[in-house]
Structure 1
Amino acid sequence: MKESFVSIQDLNLKHQQKSVLKDLTWAINRGENWALGGTSGSGKTSLAKIIAGLQNAAGEVKINFNNESHLPAEVLFVESWYQFKNLEGVANFYYQQRYTSQQAKDTLTVHAELVNYGKEKGIHLDKVEHILEALNFSSFASSQLIELSSGEHKKLQLVKALWLKPQLLIIDQPYTGLDAASRKNLNLLLDEVSTDGVQLILICNDSELPSSIHRFAEIVNGQISVSNSRTITSVSDDQHSKEIPDFLKESPVYSSENIVNMIDVNISYGEKQVLKNINWEVKAGEKWLLQGHNGSGKSTLLSLVNGDHPQSYANELYLFGNRRGSGESIWDIKQHIGLISPEFHWYFDASATVWQSIASGFYDTVGLFQQLPYTKGQQVDELVEYFGLTENKNELLSSLPLGRQRLVLLARTIIKNPELLILDEPCQGLDQQQTVHFNQLVDELCSNGMTLIYVGHFESQLPTCIEKRILLEKGEVKVVESLNIEILS
């Protein structure tokens, strides 16, 4: 008989009076590595937190650590959402702060963060270099935490987890924000620690998994459903039959035929050059894919388009027909743009309701601070219904599962039918069905003439409307090309 490592009996959890986990029972035997899937909001993250002792629930969870193992008798849960703090222990940051170099000194460097973690856990720095190199993260040692992109923050979390090698490692959305090479190397590293005795639970719906993952389950109707292979049988509520709201069928009103024009743009932080001689032109109605490895400069490039980067004034940059710094404010620029990014999600107002969060897109604020006119309120109601958020509209955004939070912010992004839609990894946290549905929505929106800049590492999860690609490598433009996204994916 196999020895049980994790034993879960009759687990029950409710959220907003609604059952999430219902008499859930699950036995994880010693030596088993699992992939746990399921739709967004099915309870995957909650279950992981309960196993790790980070959340309470009714029922019984027993973990039988191996006292003879050289690995720490610990359950480490790596969240999909990373919260770091400044030197005073506060996490009160604002979105543009990442690009303001003087204020960036308020946080630890990556190296200092790793030194502190090593001291806390009693592990040696010489054991981490191999992991840093495999994830192409060694060059970020002197970077401030606030300067890192979402993919780079994910790498830092993974570096610490793989360095520690706990007896049970649970990773929520391990591939979020990672480029293809990093995903491949992560799988090799996970196989490596598994050989050393670490047991894995990966919470994801991805198919490219480490070879050490040999058990598969998903949460369906609050209970564990075990299968013999990676097959996701449960799906989100089908929304394909819903018709897009009428106000989004209208073509955007363009202020200029030239949306973005960068001429020999350079961005540096001290001696570190992030963007080098960038030349890029985006015209009204074009659909672009922006790609590059983690750290290639994609987020910095987008911060120039958004109007958020202070160094834009020192460069020859034209947005919506106007030279940057010719008198327009950051809010004048944002009126033309609908934006979603992991970083923006981090800094969004957690005290806003779902309805208020969507409505704030009219004013480009991180919360709603004024009364909405009747017609605009109707448009918010239409999007709430379209995205299947009616039952959540008065709940706090922060109380929803991460995938549904992302749907709310996606609705916020398109509420004003903008000239330019910037979608930076928009499907992070969405399940497969939601991802397909969202990209179909993007295709429909863009068929009406909207301009698109789309950042995506997973080429199988892209809208079909994309027609051009710009590829960055170490801060430089490596490729600009026309493409057929159906062939690419």
Structure 2
Amino acid sequence: MKIKFEHLKADTTSVTLDIDNWVIEKQQSWGVFSIEGDIGSLLGDLLCDEVCASSGRILKNSGHIAQVSLAEQQRLLEQEIANDDSDFLDRIDTGSTVYALVYQQCEDEDLTLQLMQELDLNHLQDSGFRVLSSGETRRLMLARALATQPDFLVLDEPFAGLDLAHRKSLGQYLTKLSQSMQMLVIVSREEEVPEWIEKIALFGQGRLDSLMDKSAWDVHPVIAQIRSQSEKQSEQMLELIRRHRHSSPFDNPIFALKNGKVAYTDKIIFSDVNWRINKGEHWQVKGPNGCGKSTLLGLLFGDHPQCYSNDIQIFGKQRGSGETIWEIKKHIGMVSSALHLQYRVDCSALQVILSGFYDSIGLYQKATRREQEIAKEWLAILHMTPFTHTSFRKLEYGQQRLLLVARAIVKQPTLLILDEPYQGLDYLGRRLIKNALELIARENLSQLLYVSHYQEDSLDSIHNYLEFTPDKNGQGYKTVIS
């Protein structure tokens, strides 16, 4: 399939795409690297005719183009929420099953079963969409796209949310797929550009900067330049945090879980988890997709319904001894894919950061002048001042994630929970947040509880690890502490 961009400009509320001239030849696969700016969803929507260019044009042969993106995933969630039948059932509606979501794209049982086998979804075929982990959801979205049997496939951050084993298997799968399908692979991590990619398109702030062979990309100096820029911004962020620093009033343990267990009617998620977080400790939680990492964080945060059936101490209080959920949450900052999906209110970028002071999704009371000044400083550091009054839902996914990180940090919480915080961020945004978290941990401005599937995202200041491993009896997962 040949695709030609001619003097193309396209705009959303928060992103502009500017491509003077770019030709993708037949049977040619490209990698796209965006230094700064979340252009993947807009590029995919243009190619799939979901949106129109404001000027210029895209010329393309007849054929079907499919895309996989975090924005596409959010659109599916909106559909699932609209179809929620919990009010008419005697149980919580967890959404359409994995099998149904793939089958509805092709209405071909053989193809559905083949894709589920290839993408390690067989064991999830009866699971509802809304109970899948982030990695499981990403594999489902790829299966749905492939079920439409496209001629051209747009993959926006295809490895986001996947554990090491699934990143490796997906890499092998895409290598094989590349022999029969044309692809456009958009990444923000330089190491995720597949080896079989022939050409690279480099974007900066939405503008096509340069086109090059893969060999030229491998020695391109732009990465070193961006690292220097992100370090400067991170220092500015740290200085802001220092100015509003306060000390934690709690003694040990900050959190303790004894013989922790989460189980549902049909399966055990994990059992026999004994975990203690002392004052001043930073922790990283590791484990494969679906092992229960986010569930464990939900027990700590108080959002999981089984937190009251477990023996938990947090901030010196026994869970269920009369404390309110708000007494706990005011000392915790949280970033997670689940929170991102839940943050569906129509408030401004400024209000998103301000909501961190009140632990709310949206802002329902008047913020103080001091709080507004701090929130505006955060917007400036994140280069998002132009979007101060822009609706959160009109921002690109990566911009939304930056705001949610700021929302978690802004109140200087005792415990800062970061569950895959970089998902959807461009290269500069990821470097900026990683550097800032390293500095926060080093100076003990907050205690970090950190989840990431990437070894290169490990923070030097974290020395405590909790890792989920499969139970030898096949009964969920157990944990190893080191």
**TM-score using structure 2 length:** 0.88
Aligned equivalent of 1:143: 127
Call closer, same or farther: CA 1:460–1:370 in 2, change over 3 Å: same
Correspondence list, 1:7-22, <5 A: 7-16=4-13, 20-22=16-18
Amino acid at match of 1:158: L
Determine the C-alpha separation between the residues in 2 that align with 1:462 and 1:259.
22
Residue 227 of structure 1: aligned partner: 212
Tell me, yes or no, if the aligned pair for 1:40 and 1:401 is still in contact at 8 Å.
no
Q: Secondary structure at the match of 1:136?
A: coil
Look up the equivalent residue of 2:69 and give its one-letter code: E
1:64 equivalent to 2:47? Answer no
Does residue 199 in structure 1 map to residue 177 in structure 2? no
d(CA) in 2 for partners of 1:86, 1:410: 22
Aligned counterpart, 1:54: 50
The two structures, once aligned, show a CA RMSD in angstroms of: 2.6
Matched, 1:453 2:438: no
The residue number in structure 2 matching 1:486 is none
Q: Deviations over 1:274-320 (max 9, x none)?
A: 12121111112111111111111111111101100111111112222
Alignment partners' CA distance in 1, 2:449 and 2:182: 40
Distance verdict in 2 for CA 1:432–1:102, change over 3 Å: farther
Amino acid at match of 1:179: D
Return closer, same or farther for 1:297/1:166 CA change in 2, 3 Å cut-off.
same
1:39 equivalent in alignment to 2:35: yes
**TM-aligned CA deviation for residue 411 of structure 1:** 0.7
Larger mean Cα displacement after TM superposition, 249-258 or 84-93: 84-93
Match of 1:169 among 145, 153, 157: 153
d(CA) in 2 for partners of 1:116, 1:202: 25
1:365 aligns with 360
User: Residues 443-475 of structure 1: CA distance to partner in whole angstroms, max 9, x if unpaired?
Assistant: 222233221110001111232211111111344
**CA contact under 8 A between 1:215 and 1:228: conserved in structure 2?**
yes
Larger deviation: 464-473 or 158-167?
A: 158-167
Residue identity in the other structure for 2:60: I
Structure 1 partner of 2:293: 298
Q: Which amino acid aligns with 2:270?
A: L
Conservation of the 8 A alpha-carbon contact between 2:355 and 2:361: yes
Partner of 1:79: 69
Aligned position for 1:212:
196
Distance of aligned partners of 1:267 and 1:301 in 2 relative to their CA distance in 1, 3 Å threshold: same
What is the CA deviation profile of residues 80-110 of structure 1, one whole-angstrom value per residue up to 9, with x for unaligned ones? Answer: 23136689964488xxx9xxx9654352221
Using a 3 Å threshold, how does the CA distance of structure 1 residues 11 and 267 change in structure 2: closer, same or farther? same
The aligned length equals 459
**How far did 1:389 drift?**
2.2
SS in 1 for 2:456: coil
Aligned residue in 1 for 2:473: none
Displacement of 1:241 after TM fit? 5.2
Unmatched segments (≥5 aa) in structure 2: 471-475
Contact 1:354–1:393 (CA<8 Å) still a contact in 2? yes
Q: Which moved more, 1:105-114 or 1:327-336?
A: 105-114
SS in 2 for 1:24: strand
Check conservation: 2:41, 2:156, Cα contact below 8 A: yes
**2:283, 2:117 → 1: CA distance?**
31
Task: Name the residue aligned to 2:329.
Answer: 334
Equivalent residues of 1:244, 1:386 under 8 A apart: no
Say whether the 8 Å CA contact 2:345–2:361 is kept in structure 1.
Answer: no
- Residue of structure 1 equivalent to 2:172: 188
8 Å CA contact 2:134–2:289 kept in 1: the answer is no
Residues 286 and 249 of structure 1: CA distance in aligned 2, closer, same or farther (over 3 Å): farther
**Partner letter of residue 74 of structure 2?**
Q
SS of the residue 2:142 aligns to = helix
Structure 2 contact 188–425 (Cα < 8 Å) conserved: no
Range with bigger deviation, 75-84 or 174-183: 75-84
Indicate conservation of the 8 Å contact 2:417/2:448, yes or no.
yes
Question: Aligned in 2, Cα 1:266/1:241: closer, same or farther, shift over 3 Å?
Answer: closer
**Paired residues of 1:24 and 1:224 also in contact (CA < 8 A):** no
Report if aligned partners of 1:216, 1:227 keep a CA contact under 8 Å in 2: yes
User: Paired residue for 2:23, among 19, 23, 27?
Assistant: 27
Instruction: Please point out which of 92, 97, 103 is paired with 1:109.
Output: 97
1:430 and 1:86, CA in 2 relative to 1: closer, same or farther beyond 3 A? Answer: closer
| Superposition map of 1:313-328 within 5 A | 313-328=308-323
TM-score (norm 1): 0.87
Aligned counterpart for 1:275 among listed residues 270, 277, 280: 270
The whole-number CA distance in structure 2 between the counterparts of 1:249 and 1:191 is 49
Q: Which structure is higher in helix share?
A: 2
Instruction: Pick from 400, 416, 425 the counterpart of residue 421 of structure 1.
Output: 416
> Where does 1:350-389 land on structure 2 (aligned, <5 Å)?
350-389=345-384
1:178 maps to 162
In the aligned structure 2, how far is the partner of 1:244 from the partner of 1:280? 33
**Offset of 1:255 from its aligned partner?**
2.6
**C-alpha contact (below 8 Å) 2:6/2:21 kept by paired residues:** yes
- Please give the residue correspondences for 1:337-348 in structure 2 after superposition, counting only pairs within 5 Å: 337-348=332-343
Which residue of 1 is the match for residue 279 of structure 2? 284
Change (3 A) 1:146 1:244: same
Residue type matched to 1:143 in 2? S
Cα deviations by residue, 1:387-440 (Å, 9 ceiling, x for unpaired): 222222121122222222211111100111001000011011222232222122
